[in-house]
Structure 1
Amino acid sequence: MSSLPKLVDSKITLSNKVVALTFNRHDVRNALTGTAIADDIVNTVEWINRTPEIAVLIITGDGSAFSSGGNIKDMADRAGDFAGDVQTLERRYREGIQRIPLALHKLEVPVIAAVNGPAIGAGFDIANMCDIRIASTKAKFGETFVNLGIIPGDGGAWFMQRLIGYQKAAELTFTGRVINASEAKEIGVVLDVVEPENLIARVNELANEIAAKPVASLRLTKRLMKLAQRTELPDFLDICAVFQGMCHNNPEHLTAVNTMIEKLAK
């Protein structure tokens, strides 16, 4: 396995085939603009996709926030990522924050968001780009772009309606309303809500349960889940047949089957 990628504004750890990526700019509430967090996400995803032994990615934030999204001070000053004319900003979005959804959409392993605190704007969208979300009771979620007179420029409107349905996504997006962890669970944004001190343990428990499965079939299953969102059934079944043939010829399959037979024999 190759060495862990070098990150700038995030920390990365590896344990039992599970990678944990922690945003490490609590001084700006893990903002995605004016930091290197976007680069860190992209570099981590690219490394995982090149490293077949990895089974799961966890994303979380250090400090009190998961991520505050864009830096509103820079917005007010028309500085940093928010400086320039229309053409300049359009290019900066494509070459900057929009690399995050493209990277996470191509990630070959399941990804769990451990939402430790507020996930606001693009921070909320990153959580929605993950496969599963576990939240602390201190978490808050808000698709707050309209409150600032802007739109979800990172693709959030694409992800949220696929997660919770158009009508609820529309209400949250059009009002910019911030919801707590309990409501987020009620509407299907998060899978579970736990006390802050139990968050990482709960997420690690789930991540290790997933990581215990045969990794090759796990990665193919993740690809199938994504393909199912955009493929007609006859074409999808053709892909399933090919992927299944790959699995039946993978040594992991025979090992798993023999393990199951041994369990049943006891």
Structure 2
Amino acid sequence: MSAYSNEASSRVESSVDDGVLTLTLNSPSDGNALDVAMTEALSDALEQVNDQRDVLCVLLRSSSRHFCTGGNVKDMQSGSDLMRGSVEDVRERLLRSLHRITRALSGLDVPSVCAVNGAAVGAGCDLALMCDIRLASTSAVFAESFLRLGLVSGIGGSWFLTRIVGYAKALELTLTSEFIDAEAALGLGIVAKVLPDATLDSEARALAKRIAQNPPTALRMAKRLVREAADVSLSTTLEMAAGMQAMLLCGQEHKAAVGRFLDRQAAKKRTSA
């Protein structure tokens, strides 16, 4: 296991193992709130991923009883942290600070897995929604709870939520600020699997490592193709698929993978003979 480069802040612990970059939110005293310090630490780590060729999957998790409780309500009351200054100051700070996470996480070339335990509410819920695959523990709860504080999702969560659950359900969850448990989130497609609290981490790590075993170039292209296909026409998707497939068919990754496949088939025949 090698240390990743984001060691400057203890709020986000980082390590790389078997192609998986694990980013652990580590500010239990405030529920891993997305204040400026947490935002900068997480953004710094995420913005480096696409340049790290040894990273093939990102695992986002928490070291404490909650995944992320959103913004720091005490800071909102005092007007400190992100909320300092004029309307123009706050808007600029959101664009330059909090939105760094949205751009970096949604712009990852490699897949991301999120392990959600405890509360993922407000901006914490949005943070989970930005990841590609979400696993939840039985204790997890989710909420787009912004209206409870007279706010809207300020980091783009509505964009992700609508694509995951559809327009009508996204509007219902937003307008009611309803808290939903892990099983309800599973039924809506917000999470892929619900796991016991004790096995969430190990299952999430196993999934991330399984993803990271894929050929690196093909893995990145596969994610990009699925991501782009959600917003473009079929003809555009076919053009992208043809170009990517042609490059992969002519590349060494494909040839090596075919060789390994044929070797396994031959070995199976020998053992069954």
- TM-score (ref. length: structure 1): 0.95
Aligned pairs for 1:120-199 (under 5 A) are 120-199=121-200
Deviates more, 1:36-45 or 1:186-195: 36-45
- Give distance in 2, aligned partners of 1:177 and 1:82: 25
Larger Rg: 2
Mapped contact 1:142–1:178 kept (Cα < 8 A): yes
- Give distance in 1, aligned partners of 2:235 and 2:208: 32
- Give distance in 1, aligned partners of 2:39 and 2:225: 26
- Give distance in 1, aligned partners of 2:79 and 2:190: 32
Mapped contact 1:5–1:43 kept (Cα < 8 A): no
| CA deviation string 1:152-179 (max 9, x = no partner) | 0110111101011111111111111111
Mapped contact 2:3–2:14 kept (Cα < 8 A): no
Partner of 1:18: 20
- Give distance in 1, aligned partners of 2:247 and 2:170: 38
Mapped contact 2:46–2:101 kept (Cα < 8 A): no
Partner of 1:260: 261
- Give distance in 1, aligned partners of 2:48 and 2:87: 33
Q: Which amino acid aligns with 1:154?
A: I
TM-aligned CA deviation for residue 106 of structure 1 = 0.9
Deviates more, 1:77-86 or 1:215-224: 77-86
Q: Which amino acid aligns with 2:192?
A: L
TM-aligned CA deviation for residue 45 of structure 1 = 2.2
In angstroms, what is the RMSD of aligned CA positions?
Answer: 1.4
TM-aligned CA deviation for residue 250 of structure 1 = 2.5
| CA deviation string 1:11-52 (max 9, x = no partner) | 011110011000111111100114x22222222222220012
Q: Is the partner of 2:47 in helix, strand or coil?
A: helix
Structure 2 stretches of 5 or more lacking a match? Answer: 269-273
For the pair 1:39 / 2:43, whether they are aligned, the reply is no
- Give distance in 2, aligned partners of 1:55 and 1:147: 38
Structure 1 stretches of 5 or more lacking a match? Answer: none
Partner of 1:106: 107
Q: Which amino acid aligns with 1:187?
A: L
Aligned pairs for 1:36-115 (under 5 A) are 36-115=37-116
Q: Is the partner of 1:96 in helix, strand or coil?
A: helix
Deviates more, 1:239-248 or 1:60-69: 239-248
Mapped contact 2:12–2:26 kept (Cα < 8 A): yes
Q: Is the partner of 1:73 in helix, strand or coil?
A: helix
TM-aligned CA deviation for residue 3 of structure 1 = 6.4
Q: Which amino acid aligns with 1:189?
A: I
| CA deviation string 1:125-173 (max 9, x = no partner) | 0100001000111111010001100110110111101011111111111
| CA deviation string 1:98-130 (max 9, x = no partner) | 111111111011100000210010000010000
- Give distance in 2, aligned partners of 1:230 and 1:181: 28
Partner of 2:4: 4
Mapped contact 2:123–2:155 kept (Cα < 8 A): yes
- Give distance in 1, aligned partners of 2:114 and 2:54: 20
Aligned pairs for 1:182-221 (under 5 A) are 182-221=183-222
Count the aligned residue pairs.
264
| CA deviation string 1:40-94 (max 9, x = no partner) | 2222222220012211100011111100110001111222211222111111110
| CA deviation string 1:206-243 (max 9, x = no partner) | 11211111111001111111111222221221111111
